[in-house]
Amino acid sequence: MQMLIKKHIARRRFLQGMGGSILALPLLEANSAPTSLLPPKRITATGIFYGLVPENFHPQDTGKKFQSPLLLKPLDALREHYTVFSGLDHNLTGGHNATKFFLSGIPTNQSKGYTEANISIDQKAANFVGTRTRYPSLTLDADRGNEHTLSWTNNGNTIHPIRSLEKLFQMLFRKDNGAVQKQHQKALTEKQSILDLVKGQADIFKQKLGYTDTEKLDQYFTSVREFEKRIEQSTLWLNREKPNTKYTLAAGVDSLTLKDRTPLFYDLMVLALQTDSTRVISLAFTNLGKENGGLQGVEQGYHTLSHHGQVKTAIDELSIIETFHMTQFSRFLTKLKNVIEPNGTTLLDNTMALMGSGMSNANSHSNRDLPILLAGGGFRHGEHKHYARFAKQSTPLCNLYLTMLQNFGLEIDQYNTSSGTLSGFEKIS
């Protein structure tokens, strides 16, 4: 029996590996949606693995008249378009390991008992979008060598992220000729055949298994069903035209430093949302990569700097990195704001753009009182909201996520560890 389960696990890993390749298939037409319809809601989530120095992120005052600390200064021109939060977290410990669950709030080893394991907010939203866009979601990671991920499926599997700008551009805009399309169709057919074979064998095995092994096999079937959805999605959009763009990428972009690659990731994110190629995107930042990301003034490694020990020179270097991330996020929001939708609203008005981390203070490995900022999406912004200042404990970050998901269109009253929606955070009527 152990041999059977090991074989199933090996097959499941093989299928997950194939699942990564499925994500590399095409995207959606620019003019597919009737202009008479209201623009769709979108969600983006940017996660910083090493957190943000708390005193440089959280304002001292609440309300609209807060003074911007160092890391919010790059967003001053967008002040009326974002809300900064204090007192929200997932009530987790675990330091760096817990940052992987920034978008879900539930570690994989604590997910039993939840209907959808530790599904992340982006994948919950992606499941709601379904086949309406060429890609239900795009999971991106600007680090080329790290295994860090923010996105989790409804049975607790990680989503293999796209790390290559060239690959992302190809997915969004590069049109395949007839021969390439036939190859894609053949590959999809072969993958479906493999799934059918594996499912047939598993159905036979299931009749002979005990409770524990049956439970493991059911988890495996969930993985298979997720993979089947990806095949169906790819098949549906295979012969549809991709949008046109004048945007180009220079040769060798994937060999550039983080400083030069980051704005390109954000540019492609804007284009992906603007063309309705997807409505859900996550972007993870972990390490700086070669030459300390090309950031002038940064001499030590990012991880080393995050454990600054209150040494001023280390904090100053760390601030260069964190200010860079906030400046690039501000640039992203500005680009969203400058895109006018068919009904006269802006892309930012219709995009909930989350920025934050599953770690608050990397120096002490704290995962409490997380740095959270949400821009756009049709909410009333322009404030610093502190949800633990007059309470004995923090408020679940999943309350904010539930609020976002409802705004996205989901008719749900519970998401992971939420205790309700986020009080006092309202949509524009």
Give the pLDDT of residue 391.
78
Sorted by where each begins, the domain ranges of the chain are 1-30+176-240, 32-175+246-408
Residues 6+ apart with CB under 8 A from 6: none
* CB 237, CB 197: distance < 8 Å: no
The Cα 29–Cα 244 span in angstroms is 8
The Cα 332–Cα 383 span in angstroms is 20
Give the pLDDT of residue 29.
36
> 325-337 burial, b if ≥16 CB within 10 A, otherwise e?
bbbbbbbbbebbb
38: left (phi over 0), alpha (psi -120 to 50) or beta: beta
Give the pLDDT of residue 156.
85
The Cα 391–Cα 260 span in angstroms is 43
Give the pLDDT of residue 33.
44
Give the pLDDT of residue 103.
98
- Alpha-carbon distance values, 241 to 29, 153, 199 (Å): 6, 28, 33
DSSP for 7-72 reads HHHHHHHHHHHHHHHHTTS----TT-S-TTSPPPPEEEEEEETT---HHHHS-SS-BTTPPP-GGG
Give the pLDDT of residue 208.
59
CB neighbourhood size of 192 (10 A)? 15
Residues 6+ apart with CB under 8 A from 297: 317, 320
Give the pLDDT of residue 262.
97
What residue ranges of the chain have pLDDT lower than 50?
1-35, 188
Task: Tell which residue, 123, 135, 351, has the closest CA to residue 242.
Answer: 135
> Which CATH number is associated with domain 32-175+246-408?
3.40.720
| Length of the chain (residues) | 429
Summarised one tens digit per residue, pLDDT across range 179-238 is: 655 665 555 455 555 555 655 566 655 555 555 665 565 565 566 666 556 656 666 677
Give the pLDDT of residue 327.
98
